[in-house]
Amino acid sequence: MGLALLVVIWLITLASTYFFVAKSWLPVGASAAAGFMDGQFHLTLIIMGVVFLAAQLSLGYFAWRYREQPSSPPVAYSHGNVKLEVIWTALTTILFVGLNLMGSSVWAAQRFEPAGPGAVQVEVTGMQFAWYFRYPGPDGKFGGTSIKLMDPSAGGEAAVGLDTSDPASKDDVVTGTMYLPVDREVDVSLRSVDVIHSFFVPNLRFKQDAVPGLNIHLHFKPTAVGEYEIACAELCGLGHYKMHGMVHVVSQEDFDKWLAAREAEKQ
């Protein structure tokens, strides 16, 4: 029985390990931070994989080594080994704290360091159950908004409560699809008008909660032309499943043409 249990445990362990090794768990990265994040993800997977294999293979061995036999001695109870427990806990703490510190620099840089000069400004507004994106236009300034002017059912400018009496709002562009130029930093101003949402673009390796009452600034740089899905990664109500959108990363020329066309529609 002990040998059969060893074989079963080892087969399950090795089979599950194969699926982790053979499968690519992340979509193709399309941002400047993707390389570092993917590298840390794979490093974490390798370290945890070694720990998992050691634990499970040892479990199978112990199940066979200490199986019941006619010559087995009487059962003896162990109250543990304090020294081993201290060592194991210390190693686990060092591992998790170390991995956290490795990743915190990139995470913090996107949120606490200012965006570089010439960054594209985009205001992202989450609401049940849609994303809206606002661009400041040629003047580089966002017009004022007011919750009293918000009408989500109307879409567009009314959905974000744009104050059309503000001169700075005259050239603001509001759209339900996000357009970004490739290889140029994007300065995002993220907000929510009702509940907590989470702006998540897997290909850009980017996720940040949108919290009512907060205007959260962050930045990233897309590095590959393409279309990437936006998801809400925070359960936000019965319509959460349909709260998604698209990011179109295009050339600078195409982005300028798109923005000019949207501004012309306002005339």
Burial profile 100-120: b = 16 or more Cβ within 10 angstroms, e = fewer: eeeeeeeeeebeeeebeeebb
* Sign of the CA dihedral running 255, 257, 259, 262: negative
Neighbours of 71 (CB within 10 A): 4
76 within domain boundaries: no
Between the ranges 24-38, 94-108, 207-221, where is the mean pLDDT highest? 207-221
Q: Is the pTM of this model over 0.75?
A: yes
Average pLDDT over every residue of 219-229:
96
Average pLDDT over every residue of 250-263:
93
Q: Are residues 176 and 103 in the same domain?
A: no
Tokens 């010559």 sit on residue: 71
210 within domain boundaries: yes
Q: Are residues 262 and 135 in the same domain?
A: yes
Q: Are residues 107 and 164 in the same domain?
A: no
CA dist 259 and 120 (Å) reads 12
74 within domain boundaries: no
Q: Are residues 106 and 124 in the same domain?
A: no
22 within domain boundaries: yes
Which residue did the predictor score with more confidence, 266 or 95?
95
Q: Tell me the DSSP string of 27-86.
A: PPP-BTTHHHHHHHHHHHHHHHHHHHHHHHHHHHHHHHHT---TTPPPP------HHHHH
- Taking only the tens place, the pLDDT of each residue in 58-99 is 988 888 888 877 877 777 787 888 898 999 899 999 988 998
Residues 6+ apart with CB under 8 A from 87: none
CA dist 262 and 138 (Å) reads 12
The yes-or-no verdict on residue 220 having pLDDT over 70 is: yes
H or E element that contains 241: none
CA dist 188 and 169 (Å) reads 18
Q: Which residue type does 88 have? A: W
Q: Are residues 147 and 178 in the same domain?
A: yes
At 258, the pLDDT band (50, 70, 90 cuts) reads very high
CA dist 224 and 101 (Å) reads 28
CA angle at 233 for the pair 230 and 237, rounded to the nearest 5°: 110
89 within domain boundaries: yes
H or E element that contains 223: none
- Residue 66, pLDDT score: 81
Instruction: For residue 88, give the DSSP letter.
Output: H
Q: Are residues 58 and 91 in the same domain?
A: yes
At 167, the pLDDT band (50, 70, 90 cuts) reads confident
Average pLDDT, rounded, for the chain: 89
Q: Are residues 154 and 241 in the same domain?
A: yes
- Residue 1, pLDDT score: 65
Average pLDDT over every residue of 104-111:
88
At 31, the pLDDT band (50, 70, 90 cuts) reads very high
- Range of 48's domain? 2-68+81-112
Tokens 């050239």 sit on residue: 171
Q: Are residues 256 and 189 in the same domain?
A: yes
At 239, the pLDDT band (50, 70, 90 cuts) reads very high
Give me the number of domains the chain comprises.
2
Query: What CATH number did the domain enclosing 224 receive?
Result: 2.60.40.420
47 within domain boundaries: yes
CB 135, CB 259: distance < 8 Å: yes
- Taking only the tens place, the pLDDT of each residue in 179-191 is 999 999 999 999 9
